[in-house]
Chain A
Amino acid sequence: MKNLARKAIFFLVTAWAAVTLNFFVPRLMPGDPVQSLLTRYQGQMSTDAIHSLYVLFGLDEQSSLWQQYLDYWGQLFRGDLGISFYQFPTPVTSIIAQTLPWTIGLVGVATVISFLLGTSIGAYLGWRRGTWADLLIPLTTFFSSVPYFWIGLIVITLFGVIWQVLPFYGSYDPGLIPYPDWMFISSVIEHGILPALTIVLSSMAGWILSMRNMMVTVSSEDYVTVAHAKGLPERQVMTGYAARNAVLPQISGFALSLGFVVGGTLVMEQVFSYQGIGFMLFKAVGAKDYPLMQGIFLIITLSVLVANILADIVYTILDPRTRKES
């Protein structure tokens, strides 16, 4: 219980620090959204129009930074993340609500697939070390070191352009109305295959390598020898003894990567013009859209935190040594 309370406090402090940084960092950037709008219209705006823009964005009041900070917290507790400058006057929350499911759906599923597949393959390769299985290692090293966007481009070239079997632009057929019928869902799945494939290809190799190495380490542990000496079936030794222990460090890595699901997909969404939250963040930065940026950053931070809490819980379930006697 004491342990749990300590963890809860730790997460609360981290959350506070994240929100605070999230408030200050965009305000340290030079320029403001009205300036960037002006540049877009190449100065062809009257002073009145400029002034009304400032009023509209709420930038006319000369309140202190401290006051703004307090207001920010107040808004957060009301679930209000402000209004986007760039898609004025859409609330930031509804923009996030529109884009976040796409990212979580695609990248989340791809990350889980990549982790499960990579860990299983890695466990097998580690168990069969010293055989033909070792020949696959250079291949995985290659895939883990190739830049992500490059794999994306190759995949687009092969499947989208040369063979033309799968769509590679957007997240569903633009001719369709988003409605949960089979036409729409199948289109979403079709559009998701190539980006998901890219994510799996580029991230799976890392899981394979780390799991394989852990398997090799764990396989020489005494308890694995004991399991062999007991005459347990090979499968049981591999899964119940070797892999069961080798997977523990993988879990922390998996939690981290789940945290990056929301934020780490900017490149993928850019390459595939996928309407996720990374793509939106890119646009928000370009438009100096503070509220939107802040909102997205907040979501990213919170998702990393939540992933960490999840990892903590899973780890406690999987490794009895991390449990304290209660």
Chain B
Amino acid sequence: MPESVLTGASDETILDIRDLHVDYGYDERPTHVLRGVDLTVRRGEVLGLAGESGCGKSTLAYAATRLLPPPGLITGGEVWITGADDEKRDWLRLTDTQLRHARWSDVAVVFQGAMNSLNPVHRIGRQLTDAIRAHRPHTSAAERHERGIELLELVGIDPDRIRAYPHELSGGMRQRVMIAMALALEPRLLIMDEPTTALDVVMQRQILEQIADLRARLGFSVVFITHDVSLLIEIADRIAIMYAGEIVESGPARSLYHHPRHPYTAGLLSSFPPLHGPRRDLGGIPGSPPDLAALPAGCPFAPRCAWADDHCRTDHPHATKLDDGARDVACWKPLTR
């Protein structure tokens, strides 16, 4: 496993999400699922996005790529993505045609359900290359076939399997095919929504190594969404923690992992056994995930927080920079180092 912190993440932003709001439901009282999310990903960087189930991580991925199914509705914000032509575009304001052209060549998505992400009735070769056909119509069938084989080799699958149907592949192989498919147009940004969740631990590790290896070779950026924070320390350069539709803390992976400043981050980290280092007691977080339809007035985490006081319960904290600007924390009483 390569050291995750080094790699050449430049200052050039590839994804810049500003104040993104998403509601679920069309009636007068919609549920606010994303409430002003700001997120930036720099070129070549792996950003880990973690949080409990239902905190809005997947919604963020779907909203940023405008794939949000009804009744989800983007109610505000901007999503600036740098395309292959170095042009920055606000995806939320693209026309349908522009959006179709930008998809997959600027951002590719690897979804959670490796089992259902492939069309069961088409051979994987066809599915690997149909995006190439749609985006680069001048390519010949032979060229696309060649590219399909190249992509399979890239993820370590026998090129003969190009004629296989999805049901003839194992879960791990299918997820590899999905990753290969995402790389078809050489996008600069990959959004991976729990790409390893449905796999066993051994396969998880292999896929993670694959992603890290491909990133080192091809230099794309990754938004890696997971509920398993311990995975992120292996692969992410930076980590952002979501709670109740907000980013509550973000910062360099290693420092965030070892010195969480937000009480929720600390609770989340102590819910997973550490993969390295000495054993420690599993803590967990008391209470249950928040009901997004009935959030408290102040800090959404206050009802479950051991440090919360009256100020926390009445006033909503905003992200502030700590550690010389390396860390963003939305907490009135951040933990000290």
Contacts and interface: CB of A to CB of B under 8 A. Distances in A.
Interface of A: 130, 220-223, 225-234, 236, 240-241, 244-245, 248, 318-321, 325
A245 B130 CA distance: 17
Contact of A221 (B105, B108, B116, B123): B116
B311 to A, nearest CB: 42
Contacts of A130: 70
B109 A226 contact: yes
Nearest to B96: A234
A90 B70 CA distance: 66
19 contacts: A221-B116, A222-B113, A223-B119, A226-B178, A226-B181, A227-B119, A228-B67, A231-B134, A231-B135, A232-B100, A234-B100, A236-B134, A240-B119, A240-B130, A244-B119, A245-B121, A319-B120, A320-B121, A320-B123
Nearest to A227: B119
A233 B137 CA distance: 12
Consensus secondary structure, chain B interface: loop
A131 to B, nearest CB: 11
B121 A318 contact: yes
Nearest to B114: A222
A320 B111 contact: no
Given A240-B122, A244-B121, A320-B120, A226 B103 contact: no
Contacts of B67: 225, 228-229
B179 to A, nearest CB: 12
A321 B134 contact: no
Interface string B89-113: 0000000000111111100110111
B259 interface: no
Given A230-B108, A236-B134, 11 more contacts: A223-B116, A226-B118, A226-B178, A232-B100, A232-B131, A236-B130, A244-B122, A245-B121, A318-B121, A319-B120, A325-B168
Contact of B117 (A222, A231, A320, A321): A222
Contact of A229 (B104, B121, B165): B104
Could you tell me the dominant secondary structure of chain A's interface residues? Answer: helix
The 9 closest A-B pairs by CB, nearest first: A231-B103, A222-B116, A230-B131, A320-B165, A223-B119, A231-B100, A222-B113, A222-B117, A230-B104
A241 B119 contact: yes
Contact of A231 (B69, B101, B120, B168): B101
B134 A319 contact: no
Interface in B58-80: 65, 67, 69-70
Contacts of A233: 100, 134
Nearest to B100: A231
Contacts of A236: 130, 134
Nearest to B184: A230
Contact of A230 (B69, B121, B123, B134): B134
B321 interface: no
A225 B121 contact: no
Nearest to B71: A130
B230 to A, nearest CB: 26
B258 interface: no
Nearest to A221: B116
A244 B122 CA distance: 10
B167 interface: yes
Contacts of B134: 230-233, 236
A224 to B, nearest CB: 8
Contact of B165 (A230, A241, A321): A321
Interface string B41-69: 00000000000000000000000010101
A321 B167 contact: yes
A208 B181 CA distance: 34
Contacts of B181: 226, 230
A234 B134 CA distance: 11
Contacts of A321: 120, 165, 167
Contacts of A325: 168
B70 to A, nearest CB: 7
Contacts of B116: 221-223
B104 A231 contact: yes
Given A231-B135, A232-B134, A236-B134, A226 B117 contact: yes
Contacts of A240: 119, 122, 130
Nearest to A318: B121
A319 B166 CA distance: 12
